[in-house]
A = this chain, B = another copy of it.
Amino acid sequence: MKYGELKWTEVEAIDKRKVVLLPIAALEQHGHHMPMLTDTFIATKIAQRAEAAMKDDVLLMPTFWVGSSNHHLAFPGTISLDNSVYTRVLKQILHCLIAAGFHRIFLLNGHGGNVVPADQAIYEVALEREDLTDLWLVMSSYWTLAGSAMTDLPVMETRALTHACEYETSMVLALRPELVDMAKARGPQATFFSDYFVPDASRPSRVHSPRLFHRVSKTGAFGSPELASPEKGAALLQTIADEVVAFLKEFAQWPPLEPG
């Protein structure tokens, strides 16, 4: 079901155990070769497929397309909210949903910069609604949820989703090929100096450090976007949507937590 197509009287009457699915994404630079709505295109498509597969159990909201992308602002065109504003926006959306009676909400994330402020949002709302023992606020980035299923696809040549990379480029090639300029698909060859901190996130870092994107990539891309193909993209989208559906099916049944 599409949340926004309901009338308020339908919201009032609906079974509140259904999962509300809110895709969160971004409008930010994605290298010389990709459109700024890349994350929004991808997250929206995955969410739509999940909704299509679970029409009766999922209420799909419109994608919240502005993200927390201040570290990309040196590239003109990026639209971004500060972390603190982004957190407040998500909190107010969540509080509205909870006030309407929903208690099983999933934020499907399509942009890395959203993780910290979205975590903060669900944490603060959980504290503010500590009175609700059956409230489940869950957030996951699709690359975390689908994790190894994505990277284990035989067609993929690089080992991690980073930014405007083989993975993202492939998916936009599958979705909106006319917006991709493969002739300009170039990211830097990673030449980082440390085993502790990997700025392009192609491996996990052992320490956290903020990365202003223009300090780490001249084009704004990472990974090996030149390896992208629409076939890879189609396979990725299918795999990710399947993983999201598998999670949502389980999530729809989660009981309240019981202290051990």
Contacts A27-B4, A122-B208; A62 near B65 (Cβ below 8 A): yes
Q: Which of A47-55, A153-161, A193-201, A231-239 is near enough to bind chain B? A: A193-201
Interface status of A70 (Cβ within 8 A of chain B): yes
Complex Cα gap A35–B62 (Å): 13
Given A120-B117, A123-B210 in contact, is the A89-B96 Cβ separation under 8 Å?
A: no
Is B12 a contact partner of A77 (Cβ separation < 8 A)? yes
B83 and A124 form a contact (CB under 8 A): yes
How many of chain A's residues touch chain B, expressed as a range? 35 or more
* Chain B min CB distance to A45 (Å): 15
Inter-chain contact B36/A4, CB cutoff 8 Å: yes
Q: Mark A33-57, 1 if CB is under 8 A from B, else 0.
A: 1111100100000000000000000
Contacting pair B206 A145 (CB below 8 A): yes
Contact of A8 with B76 in the complex, beta carbons under 8 Å: yes
A36-B122 Cα distance, complex, nearest whole Å? 24
Which residue of B is nearest A209, CB measured? B138
> What distance in Å separates the Cβ of A222 from its nearest Cβ neighbour in chain B?
9
Evaluate contact between B207 and A138: CB separation under 8 angstroms.
Answer: yes
Known: A85-B88, A208-B138, A260-B190. A75 touches B36 (CB 8 A): no
Say if the beta carbon of A126 comes within 8 Å of chain B. yes
Q: Counting CB contacts under 8 A, is A203 at the interface? A: no
> How would residues 50 to 90 of chain A score, 1 for a CB under 8 Å from any chain B CB and 0 otherwise?
00000000000110111000110111111111111100110
| Leading 3 A-B pairs by shortest Cβ distance | A188-B260, A11-B77, A4-B37
The chain A residues found within 8 Å of chain B, CB to CB, are 3-12, 27, 29-37, 40, 61-62, 64-66, 70-71, 73-85, 88-89, 92-93, 96-97, 99-101, 106, 115-120, 122-124, 126-127, 130, 133, 136-140, 144-145, 147, 176, 179, 181, 184, 187-191, 193-194, 196-197, 199, 206-212, 214-218, 220, 247, 250-251, 254-260
- Name 9 interchain pairs, CB-CB below 8 A, sorted by A: A4-B65, A6-B36, A10-B77, A64-B66, A73-B99, A115-B208, A133-B215, A139-B208, A140-B207
